[in-house]
Amino acid sequence: MVLGKWLGSFLLLLVRFSMNALGAYVGINIGTNISNMPPASDVVAILKANQITHVRLYDADAHLLKALGNSGIEVMVGVTNEEVLGVGESASTAAAWVNKNVAAYLPATNITAIAVGSEVLTSIPNAASVLVPALTYLQKALVAANINFQVKVSTPQSMDIVPRPFPPSTATFNSSWNSTIYQLLQFLKNTKSFYMLNAYPYYGYTNGDGIFPLEYALFQPLSAVKQIVDPNNLFHYSSMFDAMVDAVYYSIEAYNISGIPIVVTETGWPWLGGTNERDATVDNAETFNDNLVRRVLNDSGPPSQSDIPINTYIYELFNEDKRPGPVSEKNWGIFFTNGSAVYPLSMSTSDQITGNSSVTFCVARQNADSDKLRDGLNWACGQGHANCSPIQQRQPCYFPDSLQNHASYAYNDYYQRMHSVGGTCDFSGTAMTTTVDPSYRSCKFTGSSNSSNGVGFLPTEAFGPISPQGGSPSLQVSRFQCLVSAICLALVLLC
C-alpha cells in the first residue's frame, strides 16, 4: 500500500518530466517576398545547419514543401489571405486545398498545422464572417483524409484585437469580434488545436511612446522602481512578451473557455530601420531574439499559465527586401540569403548555456556537389594547411565517415585559423557559416568552447537525420540531467 503510493508518485514524477522532454521549441517564419530567394534546397540546408526544427510558411510553396521532405523539420503551412474567401465559401475548395497542399506531401514532409490567413480580423475584416467556416471546412477535409490527428487548423491573429492588453488580468478581445472569436475558440477547443498569436513587443514598445522601459521589451532585468506588476493579482511581468501572451489567455478566459494553449506564430525585432526608427538596431534585435530563445526554452508559461510552454516562431528567416513600407519592414531577417547570419543567434540551448554565441563556424553545405566538396577538402588539408588529423581513421571526427562531415571539419579548421587574415568560408560555394557549434561526442570542432558540449550524444543534424522529436541534442542532454536530479529530489522528498 505504502509502497504502491510511493511508486505511484514516483511514476507520476517520471511521466511529468518525460513529457517535459518534448519541451518548448523555437521555430522560424519563412517569408518569401525577396528579390533573390535561394533555391528550396539551400533554404533547407540553412535550416539544418542551424538546427532549426520548426518552420512556418505563409503559403504552401511546392518546392519548399518538397525540399522539406525527410528533413525532420516540422512544418506549418499557410492559407494566404487571398485564398481565405474561397476556402471559407466552399467545402470543395477547402478539400481541394488540403489534398493539393497537405495530403500530397505527407508523411515525408511533416506538416503539423495549417495557419488560415494572416491576421484576418484586422487585415481583411470583410472576411471575418467566412473565417470560422474556412477552418471548419479544412478540418472536415482533414478528417475525410484521416489526417486530422497529424494536422491542426488555426488562424494567426494580431495583438490588435486585444485593445487594452495591460494589465493582463483585465484584458478582453474587442467586442466587435465577439461572435467570430467565440466560434473560433469553440472550434479550437473541440479540435484540440491551439490559438495562434502574433505578438510584437517591438510595436508595443515603439507605439508606447516611452510608457514602457526598453529593458521590458528586450527581456532584460528591470530595476526595482520599474517593476511591471498586475495590480489585480500582483503577478510580476518580467517581459512584455509574457504580458502579451497572458493578456490573450485572460481574454480567452473571459469567454469561460479553457484548455486552449497559445502558440506565438510571430515575434521578433528588426535590425535596421529608417532615421525615425531608432530602436531597430542590430544590438536590440540580437538582444531580443537571444533572450527570447532563452525565455522560451526554459519551458515555463506566462504567470497565469506557468505550466504551458510558449512555443514560438521567430519572424523571420530572411530579410524580405521586396516588402513595402518603412525600412524596418524589410529587415527582420536573421540570415542573409547566402546563409550567413545577420547576427549570431542560436535557436537551441548549447550556446545559451554559456551565454556566448559569438563564434562563427564554417561547415560544408548540405547537398553540395560532391566533386566540389572533395576538391575543397583536398585543398583545405593541403594548401590550406588545415589540421586534418582528427578526421583520419580511428580519430574522433572520422565518423560519420562522409565527405560532408570531413569537409566540414577541414573547412572549419582552416576558417578558424585564417579568417582573421582574410581566409573565407566559401570553398567554391560548398561552405557556409553557422553560429551553432557543430561539435559532437568527442569530436571538437576548432573554435568550440569545451563547456557547451562534449557529453555523449549523437552527431548533430548537420551530419545526419534530426532526432524524431525535433529536439536538439543539447536540449536532450539538459533534460536528461533534469530527469536525474528530479529522481534524486523525489527520493529526498519521499524518504
Ligand X SMILES: *[C@@H]1O[C@H](CO)[C@@H](O)[C@H](O)[C@H]1NC(C)=O
Instruction: Give residues in contact with ligand X (CB under 6 A).
Output: 32-33, 72, 74, 107, 110, 112, 163, 174-176, 178-179, 182, 238, 242, 255-256, 295, 298, 300, 322-324, 336, 338, 340, 356-358, 425, 450, 468, 470
Instruction: Return the residue matching grid coordinates 508606447.
Output: 208
Helices (H) and strands (E) in the chain, counts: 16, 11
Q: What is the DSSP letter of 420?
A: G
Q: Cell for 41?
A: 534546397
Closer to ligand X by CB, 90 or 174: give it: 174
Closer to ligand X by CB, 338 or 481: give it: 338
Among residues 70, 151, 160, the alpha carbon closest in space to that of 118 is found at: 160
Query: Which positions are annotated as active-site residues?
Result: 119, 266
Please give the single-letter amino acid code of residue 141.
Answer: A
* Minimum distance of ligand X from residue 1's CB (angstroms): 35
* Minimum distance of ligand X from residue 247's CB (angstroms): 14
* Minimum distance of ligand X from residue 372's CB (angstroms): 16
* Minimum distance of ligand X from residue 393's CB (angstroms): 21
DSSP characters over 114-157: EEESSSHHHH-GGGHHHHHHHHHHHHHHHHHTT-TTT-EEE--E
Q: What is the DSSP letter of 445?
A: P
DSSP characters over 17-67: HHHHTT---EEEEE----TTPPPHHHHHHHHHHTT--EEEESS--HHHHHH
Q: What is the DSSP letter of 335?
A: B
Is the CB of residue 454 less than 8 Å from the CB of residue 400?
A: no
Burial of residue 107 (number of CB atoms within 10 Å: 0-12, 13-18, 19+): exposed
* Minimum distance of ligand X from residue 468's CB (angstroms): 5
Query: What is the strand order of the sheet 74-79 is part of?
Result: 152-154, 110-116, 74-79, 54-57, 26-30, 312-314, 262-267, 195-198, 157-158
* Minimum distance of ligand X from residue 163's CB (angstroms): 4
Q: Using CA atoms, how far apart are residues 481 and 341, in angstroms rounded to an integer?
A: 31
Q: What is the DSSP letter of 461?
A: G
Q: Using CA atoms, how far apart are residues 226 and 239, in angstroms rounded to an integer?
A: 12
Closer to ligand X by CB, 121 or 373: give it: 121
Is the CB of residue 362 less than 8 Å from the CB of residue 348?
A: no
Closer to ligand X by CB, 206 or 239: give it: 239
Among residues 316, 262, 302, the alpha carbon closest in space to that of 30 is found at: 316
Closer to ligand X by CB, 110 or 460: give it: 110
Closer to ligand X by CB, 91 or 484: give it: 484
- List Cα–Cα distances, 463 to 199, 338, 407, in angstroms: 34, 20, 11
Closer to ligand X by CB, 9 or 451: give it: 451
Helix (H) or strand (E) holding 63: helix 62-67
Residue 263: CB atoms within 10 A of its CB come to 25
* Minimum distance of ligand X from residue 488's CB (angstroms): 17
* Minimum distance of ligand X from residue 7's CB (angstroms): 28
Closer to ligand X by CB, 396 or 400: give it: 396
